[in-house]
Amino acid sequence: MKKAYVFPGQGSQFPGMAKDLYEALPKAKELLEKADEVLQFRITDIMFEGSAEDLKETKVTQPAIFLHSVVLAKCLEDFAPDMVAGHSLGEFSALAAAGAISFEDALRLVQIRATQMQACCEKVPGGMAAVIGLPDEKVEEVCSACEGIVIPANYNSPGQVVISGEKEAIEAACAKLKEAGARRALPLPVGGAFHSPLMEPARIELAKAIEATPVKVPVCPVYQNVTALPTQDPETIKANMLAQLTSPVRWTQSVRNMIDDGASIFTEVGPGTVLQGLVKRIAGSEAELQISGISTIA
């Protein structure tokens, strides 16, 4: 039985996250204190004592979720994946957990990614919307027929796609998607058009940082968002990390490929349970999988 470890993305944060790990495990405490040094601010104070509103800021959310996930992975005695994947931001967690990038380097990349994405959102208005109840192909067809920039951004599970782009184009697409039979097509309360061409201005600094970061062969294949395919090639990993910024997250396709490649045990490592639900919907009745999560080991 092959084990797949999956790592959550933005939206899984909660007040008090990783505090139990910090208090119970010396290794977790060491890594979290190292994170404060690397980031040059006490993110642990926000994670442990901050409000839900404090944790919503992209420049805080992304490193906080990364830290919870990777610290947890590094404290698991039986962490021996046959394959890994992460949803959006979670891909950076997966790469760090699988040894492709050092803890410190991956955290720096996440900080740059988050800061640049937040700056991009402030300069280039945009939005996202959840579409429920239509095949992926129909969502793609409707988006391509709309004026302006609007594309599928997250293929989360069958019948659940998030679209991203210019606000007016999002509104027009939502109306057309409802006409096409979508059960829901509603704008999301997010800061910008993630995983769309509107994130292009954020690429410059992130590209420099990725190029300067040493990437090693990970201990197992990483199924990256851009292609949904496994790789252990450092140059491919680098290219896909950057492309992910403006490309869709192919989560449905990634999970299906992992199942096709023999994954029968899926474990979500990090805050929340979002990915467990998505994996169950993607697998359906086609595969009998063990699906669980680890948010704490304290």
Active site residues: 88, 195
**Close Cβ partners of 222 (under 8 Å, ≥ 6 residues apart):** 83, 84, 85, 91, 94, 95, 98, 100, 230, 231, 232, 237
Can you name the residues that pair with 266 across neighbouring β-strands? 4, 291
Q: 98 — phi, psi (to 5°)?
A: -85, 5
Could you give the CA distance from residue 191 to residue 204 in angstroms, rounded to a whole number? 20
Q: How would you classify the pairing of strands 222-223 and 290-294?
A: unpaired
Q: 167 — phi, psi (to 5°)?
A: -60, -45
Closest CA to 65 of 19, 123, 13: 13
> Which whole-number Å values give the CA distances from 283 to 220, 252, 255, in the listed order?
22, 9, 8
Q: How would you classify the pairing of strands 2-7 and 263-269?
A: parallel
Please spell the DSSP secondary structure of 234-296, one letter per residue.
HHHHHHHHHHGGGS-B-HHHHHHHHHHTTEEEEEEESSSSHHHHHHHHHHTTT---EEEEES-
